[in-house]
Amino acid sequence: MPRAPVYSPTTQGVAPIEARFRAPSGPTGGEMVARALDGVGQALQRHAEVKNALAIEQDKADAGTNAVAFQDAAGQILAKAKASRGFDAGAAYKSAEEELLKAREQMLGQSRSPRARELLKSRTDGFLATYRAELAQHEITQTREAAEESYISQATKAREEAARQWLSIDAVNAQIELGRGAIRDKERLLGRDEASISEAEHEYESSVHRGIVEERNAQGDVDGALDYGRANLGKMTLADKTAVSATLRGAIETRQAAGDADWAISQGGPVPAAKPGAKYSAPVQNGRVTSTYGVDRGKGRSHNGVDFAAPEGSAVTPMGDGVVVAVGSDARSGNFVIVDHGNGLTTSYAHLGTHSVQRGDRVTSGTKLGPVGMTGHTTGPHVHVVARQNGKPVDPLQFIGQNAPSSQAAGEWDKRSAYAAIDNNPDWSFERKQRAKEWVDREFSRKDSIDAREEREADEQAKKVVLGLGDNFKSLDQIPKAVRDRMSIDATASFSDMAKANAAPKPVAANGAEFLRLQRLAIEAPEQFAGLDLTRSASRLTPGELARLDADQAKIQRGGNEVSIRSAIAGHINTFATPDMHLTGDKNKEDFIETFGLMQANILQATGGKRMPTDKELEDAFSLATRTVVAKRPGLLWGTNEKSIPAHDLTVSDIPQATLGQIDAALRRNGLPVTDANRIVLYVEGVSGR
């Protein structure tokens, strides 16, 4: 039964009946279900679309990742292929292409879906096209470079073969054709036009001819270079002609200079050799020396020659044989003549009355140069003689009585005459004259060098003979003729004087001034002593002294510490010697030398000569050499007297015989030489309690 509505003031009012039975204004239940189902379908569709979109993105990402991996693999493959060179690039191209395809297939096989595979394939197709283009370009470049290198090598080899077979014209031409063909192929490979190709072929042929000329010249075949160059000069480019001319110019000018010098030297002629045994002589007979060399002339000037006074008209003759190199007159010297004697010595004769010779004349010591006169600046009749050694003034008097140049001087040529002949040739350019003079200088220098070396060798050989003979050397004939003929003038004169001294009844006194001078020099200036020619002093030394000095010189020349040790000892003596010791100064040469000898022996015993002495060792050696010892000396009438003397004054005769025997045995046991200095050192040490 229907319930009756109950009214309440808090509830809504009762609607009218017609309002309650109106049709509903919203969707019906079915519509709402339908709508719900439709929404679900739309949601599902949107989900499917999103899912599909996500799948596409995943495929793209997969394709991109695999594409990057493919590019990485491709980079390595391409790098390997591009490392290939020359004709190997073709094989590398094929191999790289196969590896690229294989790498792509591997990447395609890893794709997550067919769509990803297609995306990857599409993308890598473009990569492959680019990679193939790179490989193709590399192959083309390398093949072209290899071909170019091959053509260049062929042309180079042809050039080398042409130079090797240069004596055969046919062989050279055949090699040139081979080379031209290679050059032609190379130029065509590079895309050159025909004009450029023709020019390149000509340049190649020119280079072959130039190379042959330069090779012959480098091998010293100047004649071959000149002949080939002249024959093929027209086939060369201007640049190669210039280069070849420069190459050959030196050889041509050298030959020209040598020929010019030979001609110029022949115009002067050789300086005649002096007669065997000839000596320099005074320029006037019975002349009187009125002014000597080096005399002070005032105002800082010294006399550069020697004046020989003689009656006017007396004959003036050269001091020795030679060639007249100048004849002239001037206000100061008046009439003068200059003579070249060879070996760098010239003499001039001034104030002559007239000239009796001409330039170029060969003269002997008996040839009249002119009469004594009073021409030029002079206060009386005399001849002013100036001697020059290698252009420097020297005292003419030192030559008078000395041996004149030996037969070796026959080969000396007059350089001044050669120069004059060159200067007087009007057809020669200045440069040609200079080259000729330089060659003349070279010829004189070469000959002087050879002569000097031969003289040194001969002097050394002669010295050995003289030292071996000792006091029995009494004639130059005892020196083999082959050696004697090559000896220097100074050695010949010195050994001659020595032979005469040995042959004379009075021998050279021992410990003479010359021996002491040389010993002092060996101590205080060892390097200067090492360069001395001892043969010049041979006549003033005993054979034993000469042998001793020669041994000292050889020891210094060997080098090592010898010079330094000598200087240290000499310096110590000069520094610490007191006036009462009488060791320094020119009057005490012998005591200085004896002190040095004892110090040297003592230091050599301590150091073995292998090192410099210490200050203490120098001090001890000086103390030993200067200490006072007692020696028994013969009495004035009979017996012996004891005398206190410095150790350096001791002699071996002051040592008792029994003690001397013990000292000698001790020296031998210790490997030391048995010398007087070593004996005295041990004796002084013994008596001093050391």
Per-residue pLDDT of 474-487, as tens digits, reads: 888 888 988 887 77
* Band (410; pLDDT cuts 50, 70, 90): very low
Whether residue 409 has pLDDT greater than 90: no
Single-letter amino acid code for the residue at 667: L
CA distance to 341, 393, 443, 454, per residue, from 411 (Å): 12, 24, 12, 14
629 vs 112: which has the higher pLDDT: 112
Give 371's pLDDT tier (boundaries 50, 70, 90). very high
Q: Are strands 334-342 and 382-389 parallel, antiparallel or unpaired?
A: unpaired
In terms of Cβ atoms closer than 10 Å to its own Cβ (0-12, 13-18, 19+), residue 212 is: buried
- Give alpha helix (H) positions in 424-541: 430-469, 481-484, 489-503, 513-524, 526-530
Residue of higher predicted confidence among 610 and 635: 610
User: Which pLDDT does position 177 carry in this prediction?
Assistant: 92
**374, 398, 422 — which closes off a domain?**
398
* Cα separation, 629 vs 642, whole angstroms: 10
CB 59 within 8 A of CB 66: no
pLDDT band at 337 (very low <50, low <70, confident <90, very high): very high
Residue 323 falls inside a structural domain = yes
Mean pLDDT (the chain) is: 81
Report residue 16: phi and psi, to 5°: -70, 155
The last residue of one of the domains, among 398, 425, 442, is: 398
Confidence of residue 689 (pLDDT cuts 50, 70, 90): low
Question: ∠686-688-689 over CA atoms, to 5°?
Answer: 65
| Structural domain total, the chain | 3
Model confidence over 136-148: pLDDT tens digits?
A: 888 888 878 887 7
Angle subtended at Cα 366 by Cα 362 and Cα 367, rounded to the nearest 5 degrees: 45
Residue 631 lies in a domain: yes
**pLDDT surpasses 60 at 288:** yes
Residue 536 has pLDDT above 70, yes or no: yes
Q: How confident is the model at residue 338 (pLDDT cuts 50, 70, 90)?
A: very high
pLDDT at 494 over 80: no
Per-residue model confidence as pLDDT tens digits over 547-561: 888 888 888 888 778
In whole angstroms, give the CA distance from residue 508 to residue 529.
22
The burial class, CB within 10 Å (0-12 / 13-18 / 19+), for 624 is buried
Residue 311 vs residue 589, higher pLDDT = 311
Grade residue 351 by pLDDT with cuts at 50, 70 and 90.
very high
Which residues pair with residue 328 across a beta bridge?
A: 336
**Amino acid 223: pLDDT:** 85
Q: Is residue 500 part of a domain?
A: no
- Token readout for 128 is 């492959």
C-beta separation of 485 from 457 below 8 A:
no
The tokens describing 559, both together, are: 């080098």
**Which range marks the domain in which residue 321 is found?**
288-398
Cα–Cα distance list, 470 to 459, 539, 614 (Å)? 16, 12, 39
Euclidean distance between CA atoms 400 and 345, whole angstroms: 13
Q: From CA 358, how far away is CA 326, in angstroms rounded?
A: 8
A 10 A CB-CB count for 445 gives 10
Measured N-to-C along each axis, helices 562-576 and 615-626 cross at an angle, to the nearest 10 degrees, of 60
Mean pLDDT is lowest, of 451-455, 560-564, 622-626, 662-666, for 451-455
164 located within any domain: no
Cα 560–chain centre separation: 24
Confidence of residue 1 (pLDDT cuts 50, 70, 90): very low
Question: Phi and psi at residue 341, in whole multiples of 5°?
Answer: -95, 0
Q: Give one word for 527, left, alpha or beta, with left for phi > 0 and alpha for psi -120 to 50.
A: alpha
pTM of the model: 0.36
Looking up residue 304, the CATH number of its domain turns out to be 2.70.70.10
- Is 626 domain-assigned? yes
State yes or no: pLDDT of 12 exceeds 80. no
Residue 316's DSSP bridge partners are 370
pLDDT at 115 > cutoff 80? yes
Identify each DSSP E strand in 24-164 by its residue range.
none
* pLDDT on residue 229: 85
Q: Which of 375, 398, 421 is the last residue of a domain?
A: 398
List Cβ neighbours of 509 (8 Å cut-off, separation of 6 or more): 542
The reply to whether 66 falls in a domain is: yes
Residue at 479 is within a domain: no
Is the residue at 208 inside a domain?
A: no
